[in-house]
């Protein structure tokens, strides 16, 4: 009995079914014309079973099916280190106002003239952006700067509105990825905290998947670092709580939110 596939094939791949043509062609040889090629396709298909069964050794599968993937949430705050719900709600309200202000004045700030020394790196220049945002090697103690002028090339440029207003969403996401990656291996210093806050304030919603992943990475790293603090008076605690709060409460990663104790 002909299968449904065989019934359809003459219509989908019409070929000359003349017996003399079929007998003169070589099944294992190279087709000499389009008709022979299509005929070989039909012959090969007719030799294939309608149902294929994969024979899998369960023992091998059990030994090699482990995949390491981090899907964990934030680490719980030590007792007394978690902010109140009221504090979190106030921070979200303040952050929302900052974002609205940036959106209203973006065109004005993006037209402001930058100093000659403000040279933003290319999008793919990871080391350049680290230096631009966080500064380069510390100045030599044997060659101090006696002019009293701030050397932003050494200390990093603050996230001035005239700078961040020039960043499109692709650049915002790229710089955020660089800084979050740096944060994974380093401590939270004030300059890094300012840049992270500014980039979050410029990040548009709805978030794309890459942004979701970065924000969750940022919150998890912040919660991990928070567990290492020895005192509630540590100046890094409010900043770490703020980053976790914004990711969880404003950007709606609710499973990462600090819960009331």
Per-residue pLDDT at 25 exceeds 70: no
DSSP state of 254: G
84 φ/ψ angles, rounded to the nearest 5 degrees? -75, 160
Which range has the worst mean pLDDT, 110-114, 126-130, 221-225, 228-232? 110-114
Residue 68, pLDDT score:
45
Q: Whole-model pTM?
A: 0.69
* Whole-number average pLDDT of the chain: 82
Q: Does 192 have pLDDT greater than 70?
A: yes
Residue that has been written with the tokens 């806050």 in this structure: 197
Neighbours of 14 (CB within 10 A): 10
Nearby residues of 65 by Cβ (< 8 Å), 6 or more positions away: none
Q: How far apart are CA 256 and CA 261, in angstroms?
A: 15
Q: Give alpha helix (H) positions in the chain.
A: 4-12, 19-24, 34-47, 58-63, 85-110, 126-134, 152-155, 161-164, 169-184, 190-202, 209-226, 236-245
State phi, psi for 167 to the nearest 5 degrees: -85, 125
Place 134 in a pLDDT band, splitting at 50, 70 and 90: very high
pLDDT in the model for residue 7: 55
Mean pLDDT of 17-25: 53
Neighbours of 245 (CB within 10 A): 23
């Amino acid at each position: 009995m002909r299968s449904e596939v065989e019934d359809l094939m003459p219509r989908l791949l019409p070929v000359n079914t003349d017996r003399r043509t079929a007998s003169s062609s070589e099944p294992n040889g190279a087709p000499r014309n389009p008709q022979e090629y299509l005929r070989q396709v039909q012959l090969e298909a007719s030799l294939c079973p309608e149902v294929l069964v994969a024979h899998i050794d369960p023992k091998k599968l059990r030994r090699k099916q482990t995949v390491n993937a981090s899907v964990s949430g934030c680490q719980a705050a030590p007792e007394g280190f978690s902010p109140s719900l009221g504090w979190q709600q106030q921070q979200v309200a303040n952050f929302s106002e900052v974002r609205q202000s940036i959106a209203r004045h973006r065109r004005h700030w993006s037209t402001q003239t930058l100093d000659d020394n403000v040279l933003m790196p290319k999008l793919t220049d990871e080391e350049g952006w680290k230096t631009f945002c966080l500064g380069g090697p510390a100045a030599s103690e044997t060659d101090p700067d006696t002019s009293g002028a701030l050397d932003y090339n050494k200390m990093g440029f603050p996230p001035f509105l005239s700078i961040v207003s020039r960043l499109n969403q692709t650049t915002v996401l790229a710089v955020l990825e660089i800084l979050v990656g740096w944060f994974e291996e380093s401590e939270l210093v004030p300059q890094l905290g300012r840049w992270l806050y500014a980039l979050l304030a410029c990040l548009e919603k709805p978030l794309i998947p890459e942004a979701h992943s970065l924000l969750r990475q940022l919150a998890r790293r912040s919660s991990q670092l928070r567990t290492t603090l020895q005192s509630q008076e540590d100046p890094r605690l409010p900043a770490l709580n703020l980053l976790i709060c914004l990711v969880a409460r404003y950007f709606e990663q609710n499973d990462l939110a600090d819960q009331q104790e």
